[in-house]
A and B are shown apart, each in its own frame.
Chain A
Amino acid sequence: KQEVTQIPAALSVPEGENLVLNCSFTDSAIYNLQWFRQDPGKGLTSLLLIQSSQREQTSGRLNASLDKSSGRSTLYIAASQPGDSATYLCAARNDYKLSFGAGTTVTVRA
């Protein structure tokens, strides 16, 4: 069974700092890895999807890397803003099934 772990569980930074969120998974035979954002009381918004053959994906201030062999992915958010405050979840896909970590809750202080 795929196990996904996210460290740290919570993170608080001043505005402008870069954020580094870590995700590890136990079964490296993944199809892809997806990063999501979840605001309180809301559903999940997809941020980035990295296919198993890719090393990284970028969208604006967000960059996600994938090291399949070591079972790790990292989400970088540059120049953080208070609007980036949310919970970030990573999910590893094996076939049709996504397995999620518990998330990292980010607070960006103005």
Chain B
Amino acid sequence: GAGVSQSPRYKVAKRGQDVALRCDPISGHVSLFWYQQALGQGPEFLTYFQNEAQLDKSGLPSDRFFAERPEGSVSTLKIQRTQQEDSAVYLCASSQTSGGAWNTGELFFGEGSRLTVL
């Protein structure tokens, strides 16, 4: 597609519900990232995929958070048993860069999924 697409754009969940957020990266982009942005803050790294391999999940806040990219394109971020502190905008980004070329690597972001947990 022309850009990174995320759905849903807005999600309201009751505390304890499970949610799934979807990301469609730019076609052909090898690398995919998830970031979490709290209100008034900069995005914080959650996880990184190179193709279908999850190379870094060190930013996931707890074991309630799970991300996958089974075929190396679309990715899903799942949050189980949502808590109020999970309320944030979840941003997905993709890049055609991988491996040792990160000095020129530019990231392209989607518009985000805003999660509100009541």
Contacts and interface: CB of A to CB of B under 8 A. Distances in A.
By Cβ-Cβ distance, the 10 closest A-B pairs, closest first, are A100-B42, A43-B111, A44-B109, A43-B109, A31-B103, A31-B102, A102-B42, A100-B43, A51-B103, A43-B112
Q: Which interface class (under 10, 10 to 19, 20 to 34, 35 or more) fits A?
A: 20 to 34
B40 A32 contact: no
A93 to B, nearest CB: 6
Contacts of B110: 43
Contact of B107 (A34, A53, A101): A34
Contacts of A45: 109
Contacts of A43: 4, 6, 91, 109-112
A49 B95 CA distance: 13
Nearest to B40: A102
Contacts, number: 67
Contact of B106 (A4, A41, A49, A97): A49
B31 interface: yes
Interface of A: 4, 31-32, 34, 36, 41-46, 49, 51-53, 89, 91, 93, 95-103
Interface of B: 4, 6, 31, 33, 35, 40-45, 48, 55-56, 91, 93, 98, 102-112, 114
Contact of B105 (A36, A41, A89, A93): A93
B43 to A, nearest CB: 5
Contacts of B4: 43
Contacts of A41: 114
B102 A89 contact: no
A34 B42 contact: no
A43 B93 CA distance: 10
A46 B118 CA distance: 33
Nearest to A101: B42
Given A32-B105, A89-B43, 11 more contacts: A31-B105, A42-B112, A43-B111, A44-B43, A45-B109, A46-B106, A46-B108, A52-B103, A97-B48, A100-B35, A102-B42
